[in-house]
């Protein structure tokens, strides 16, 4: 789960080591993509270009509160069109959720960093992918052509582990 049943990421799911990993990775991308209810809330967030998914716009629209952001509705404009309007056509992209947004990009990830906190339970929460819990996140990633890669223990005391799932080859 990425959030509880109320759609909120509780403190029980927030870990310093995970946040540091997240921040380092976001510092390496040109564009962040997320749904309207997600935000990375990092010290350098304001520097990043971003696409915010919403059905409240027909296609692509400016975000009056952030000149580096655009609202994007995939029903009205392609991902490539949205990146072009953002001025970042050949950029590296970091997708940070939530559920439906993570699911939308499953065939495109070069790498997906899946962190797991084994002692946290969020009954009825927001899953990492729409198919979870019918399938495990690992089954979903494997079924979309990603292979289990590097495993890092981020916080041994809390059992927090991150596995980087990699795509060995991309479909034409």
Report the interface residues with ligand NAP, using CB under 6 A: 2-3, 7-9, 13, 34-38, 53-56, 73-74, 96-101, 104, 126
Nearer to ligand NAP, 4 or 90 (CB): 4
Residue 161 in 3-state DSSP?
Answer: strand
Of 47, 77, 52, 75, whose CA–CA distance to 62 is shortest? 52
Smallest separation, CB 107 to ligand NAP (Å): 14
Smallest separation, CB 14 to ligand NAP (Å): 8
Nearer to ligand NAP, 38 or 94 (CB): 38
- 162 and 154 in contact (C-beta within 8 Å)? yes
Smallest separation, CB 100 to ligand NAP (Å): 4
Smallest separation, CB 102 to ligand NAP (Å): 7
Nearer to ligand NAP, 3 or 167 (CB): 3
| 125: Cα within 13 Å, side-chain hemisphere | 17
- 30 and 149 in contact (C-beta within 8 Å)? no
DSSP E strands, the chain: 31-35, 49-53, 60-62, 69-72, 93-95, 111-116, 146-155, 160-167
Nearer to ligand NAP, 56 or 150 (CB): 56
């Amino acid at each position: 789960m990425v959030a509880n049943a109320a759609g909120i990421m509780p403190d029980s799911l927030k870990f310093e080591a995970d946040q540091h990993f997240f921040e380092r990775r976001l510092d390496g991308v040109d564009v962040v993509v997320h749904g309207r209810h997600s935000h990375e809330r990092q010290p350098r967030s304001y520097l990043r270009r971003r696409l915010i998914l919403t059905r409240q716009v027909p296609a692509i629209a400016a975000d009056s509160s952030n000149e580096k952001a655009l609202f994007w509705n995939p029903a009205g404009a392609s991902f490539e069109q949205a990146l072009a309007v953002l001025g970042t056509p050949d950029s590296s992209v970091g997708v940070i959720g939530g559920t439906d947004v993570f699911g939308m990009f499953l065939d495109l990830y070069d790498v997906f960093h899946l962190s797991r906190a084994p002692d946290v339970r969020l009954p009825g929460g927001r899953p990492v992918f729409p198919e979870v819990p019918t399938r495990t996140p690992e089954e979903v990633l494997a079924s979309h052509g990603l292979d289990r890669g590097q495993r890092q223990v981020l916080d041994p005391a809390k059992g927090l582990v991150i596995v980087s799932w990699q795509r060995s080859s991309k479909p034409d």
